[in-house]
Structures are given as C-alpha cells and as structure tokens.
Structure 1
Amino acid sequence: MSVPRFAESAAVFVISVAAELAGMHPQTLRQYDRLGLVSPHRTPGRGRRYSARDIEQLREVQRLSQEEGVNLAGIKRILELENEVHELRARLAEVEEDRRRSSRAEATMRRRLFAAGPAGDIVSVPMGRPFSNPSSELVVWRPTQVRS
C-alpha cells in the first residue's frame, strides 16, 4: 500500500499530530497561533488543521528561538518575509508559465498559412504541406503589360 501524496499546503494534520511532528507541545502551537506566528487553517467547527508547510514553519520558529536566540517578534517578521518570498516565487512561476504558453501560441501563429477556400472563406493551411483539395488552390493572375 502506498502512502498518499498531498500538496505541501494541504491542511491535513490535527493539532496533536502537528505538535508531535514539530516536536512541540500542543499548547505551544495554540500560543503561536494566538501570536500569529503560524496560523493553521480552520475547519467549519473551528478546529485547527496544519499543513506540511505549517509544520516546517513551526520547526523554523523553534530553531530560530532556541539556536539563534531570536525573540518571538523577530521570528514573526522573519516568517512574514519568508511567506512573502514564497508567494512572490509562486506568482513569478505563474507569470513565466503564461509567457511560455503565449510564446508557443505566437510561434504557432507565425507558422500558419491562410488561403481562400472553395466558398471564398478563409482557411488555415499547414505550412509545408500541399493542398489536399486542388479546388482550394489560390491562383494569382497578373495581366501582362500591353505594348503600344
């Protein structure tokens, strides 16, 4: 049986499991939530649900506090900035993907050839391929100059 995969931001862990995964007491998680350090998602019944990303942040709060000696106000500001960077990177990835899609669409449009169809309508003809229906060929007529 395989372990189910879920998004990093999926709020799936109840407070007791999140506390165990982060190596903290559940009361500490509640305090961090009240201070706005790590704010889990809420169920309709107001229960806390933590994501894998929330647990990573809880571990980072603990590391900054215990190993680096940063106070909780400083930790809050660091987390705010890290969250902003995370959101900006996600937005940048979206913009780059939109630009790639747009570039591919423009390249496709540049490679298209248009011709008049049998009924006088405009039809797209793939580049480098002969017309499949000879009656749809476009013939250009240029009158010869008459010499006097």
Structure 2
Amino acid sequence: MLYCGYPYPERRGPALAYEFKSGYLPVKNKVTRLIIAGGGAGNAIWRQIISDVLEREIAFNHYNNTALGTAYLAGYAVGLYSDFKDLREKWNPVRGWHTPRPREVTFYQQAFSFYRELNQSLDRLYTNHDINHAAQSLLKL
C-alpha cells in the first residue's frame, strides 16, 4: 500500500512518485497489487501520475483511510478474519483503478532517468561538502 500524505500532490506529484518508484523497483517482482491510500490518494491527478510513473495499474478504495489498514492487521492477528480477501471485500471495496497511459509512461521513464542521475550527483555534492556534519553542528546550538 502506498501512503500519500502530501495535501497538494499535483504540485509535487512526479518528484514524490519517483521516490516511490525508487523504493518500489527492488521489490516490484514480488508485488501483486498496488493500492494507494492517504491524503494525496484522494486526488485523481496524483493517482494517475503514480500509475504512470510506476507503470502499474493501481487501485483506490472507497474509504481513503490508512488507519483502516491497521484495523485489518489487528483483526487478522487476533483471528477475527481468516484471510485478507474477505476483509477487503467487506470493509473497504475497491472504488476504482488507474491504468498507465503509454504516452505518459514514456515521458516519465525519461524523466525518471534524469531524476536518478540528478540524485547521484547530489549525493556526491552532499558527501563532498559534509552537509550532515554541518547540520549536526547547528542542532547543538
């Protein structure tokens, strides 16, 4: 499940989606379904950007509340439910889906490549300038 807490995702959608993709890529072969939840998930533009960037169909549920996931796990842990399929269908059915759009996927693939290259360059800059040490010094003031 992707949590999207930023309240104005259409302003920062691609950058946040690239961060999601960076975390998603190492596990993508193990992921069978993506459900988007949280504040930003209420925005159709944001959901579509995530689908396009991840190149995956994503679902969004009727209730857009991440606390419900905690309730699912608690009920499952104490034996109230035997499987998650039953929980999903009864508590919070899927309200809709977003499917990647080929033209946008191509654009975001190119932009993600640039994003990764930019992040690698910034990592080198931060290392060269020891920003972490400077930030820790400020915290001691």
With structure 1 as the length reference, what TM-score do the two structures score? 0.28
Larger RCO, structures 1/2 (Cα 8 Å, 6+ apart): 2
* Larger-Rg structure: 1
With structure 2 as the length reference, what TM-score do the two structures score? 0.29
